Amino acid sequence: MSVHWLVQNGSDVPPGVDWLAPGEQEALAALRFPKRRADWRLGRWTAKRAVCALLGLDEPGGWPEVEVRNDPLGAPFVRHRGQAAPCRLSISHRADAALCSVAPLGHELGCDLEWIEPRSAAFVEDYLVESERAVLEAAPAAERELLGNLFWSAKESASKALGLGLRLDARELRVALDEPLEESWRGFSVSFRGQVLHGWWRRCGRYLLTVVDRWQGGPPIALAHGARGTLLRTSVERAVREAGRREGR
Ligand SMILES: CC(C)(COP(=O)(O)OP(=O)(O)OC[C@H]1O[C@@H](n2cnc3c(N)ncnc32)[C@H](O)[C@@H]1OP(=O)(O)O)[C@@H](O)C(=O)NCCC(=O)NCCS
């Protein structure tokens, strides 16, 4: 079965904490900084909706029964009614939007959401390897910003799929982009210590989404319907509009 994805933004998140599991309410209470609290709530909300849709759980009744925890290295995992849930997931939050990729057990996932923005020469020097820098230099000027963010995002997704997160030197990961495909998701691969991980990327306005799955499968599938036929509309376009409004564009 394929990997699925869902994007939600800040205005999708319900007020209060009733939709969180008791353990999540405790975890939230321990977070002190408002931005971290908002990002965390948005990530949990997106993850719960994605898990409910994948597993066919009742909404909204299922929300507090789904608990997203983090392992000691920070990687998220899911419990349902106190038991390990039969799914894997990855979460990313950025610029008032969150991306969750979710799949049945067996997959090892990482996803990342970036706001496409200029990256400095020092950033390129510090985080990209020679082959990536060569692609960047050969690209038309208009594509460089996207590519710089794409190489970075692919590494973030790969480091999450490996479960390593921050503990990895970005230059140990080497990204290669596939030829553009017809679909809106396009492929890439990431080499790391003799392994090759496969991933997918797409652009939505100023957002860039990447998903890496250690099982090579087809492109991620948007979660369209939850339990009771609830439409789980991917809200990337809305997030882009709202972010644009905030920035006065
Ligand atoms: C996880 C990481 C890779 C990305 O974090 P980030 O870009 O700051 O934030 P994102 O919103 O994209 O991702 C955060 C989520 O990643 C997940 N995550 C954290 N550690 C993780 C790990 N070891 N493995 C998998 N997922 C992890 C969590 O779900 C977290 O959200 P939560 O704490 O609300 O549950 C983190 O290691 C980090 O802070 N990296 C900083 C940059 C860096 O050096 N990256 C290495 C690139 S090779």
* Residue 43 domain boundaries: 4-107+219-246
Same domain, 98 and 72: yes
Q: Sheet of 97-104: strands edge to edge?
A: 87-94, 97-104, 4-9, 221-222
Tens of pLDDT, residue by residue over 68-96, are: 999 999 999 999 999 999 999 999 999 99
pLDDT of 239 reads 59
Calpha distance 28→43 (Å, rounded): 12
Same domain, 178 and 199: yes
What are residue 49's phi and psi, to 5 degrees? -65, -40
Say if ligand 1 is within 6 A of residue 93 CB.
yes
Residues 37 and 28: beta-carbon distance below 8 Å: yes
3-state percent breakdown (helix, strand, coil) of the chain, nearest 5 = 35, 30, 35
Say if ligand 1 is within 6 A of residue 244 CB.
no
Q: Is 207 strand, coil or helix?
A: strand
Q: Which atom of ligand 1 is nearest to the CA of 172?
A: 48
Same domain, 131 and 207: yes
Residues 6+ apart with CB under 8 A from 202: 184, 185, 186, 208, 209
Which strand (E) or helix (H) includes residue 133? Answer: helix 130-138
Cβ neighbourhood burial of 157 (10 Å; 0-12, 13-18, 19+): buried
Q: Total domain count for the chain?
A: 2
Same domain, 165 and 78: no
Say if ligand 1 is within 6 A of residue 111 CB.
no
Say if ligand 1 is within 6 A of residue 165 CB.
yes
pLDDT of 109 reads 95
Same domain, 8 and 99: yes
- Mutational test site, ligand 1, from 92, 96, 117, 123, max ligand atoms within 8 Å of CB: 92
Give me the residues paired with residue 208 across strands. 114, 203
Give me the residues paired with residue 242 across strands. none
Say if ligand 1 is within 6 A of residue 88 CB.
no
Distance of CA 12 to the CA centre of its chain: 17
Calpha distance 142→132 (Å, rounded): 17
pLDDT of 236 reads 55
Same domain, 124 and 74: no
Calpha distance 72→155 (Å, rounded): 21
Please list the pLDDT of the chain residue by residue as tens digits (249 residues).
Answer: 689 999 998 999 999 999 999 999 999 999 999 999 999 999 999 999 999 999 999 889 999 999 999 999 999 999 999 999 999 999 999 999 999 999 999 999 999 999 999 999 999 999 999 999 999 999 999 899 999 999 999 999 999 999 887 678 999 999 999 876 545 789 999 999 999 999 999 988 889 999 999 887 788 888 865 443 444 444 555 555 666 666 554
Same domain, 227 and 148: no
Say if ligand 1 is within 6 A of residue 70 CB.
yes
Same domain, 241 and 196: no
Which strand (E) or helix (H) includes residue 127? Answer: helix 121-127
Give me the residues paired with residue 100 across strands. 6, 91
Q: Which atom of ligand 1 is nearest to the CA of 39?
A: 34
Same domain, 82 and 170: no
* Closest-CA residue to 43 (of 115, 113, 98): 98
CATH code for position 32: 3.90.470.20
Same domain, 226 and 134: no
Characterise 157 by phi-psi region: left (phi > 0), alpha (psi -120 to 50), beta (else).
alpha
Calpha distance 158→125 (Å, rounded): 20
Same domain, 102 and 125: no
Say if ligand 1 is within 6 A of residue 208 CB.
no
Say if ligand 1 is within 6 A of residue 227 CB.
no
Q: Is 99 strand, coil or helix?
A: strand
The predicted model scores a pTM of 0.90
pLDDT of 107 reads 92
Calpha distance 109→156 (Å, rounded): 11
Same domain, 22 and 59: yes
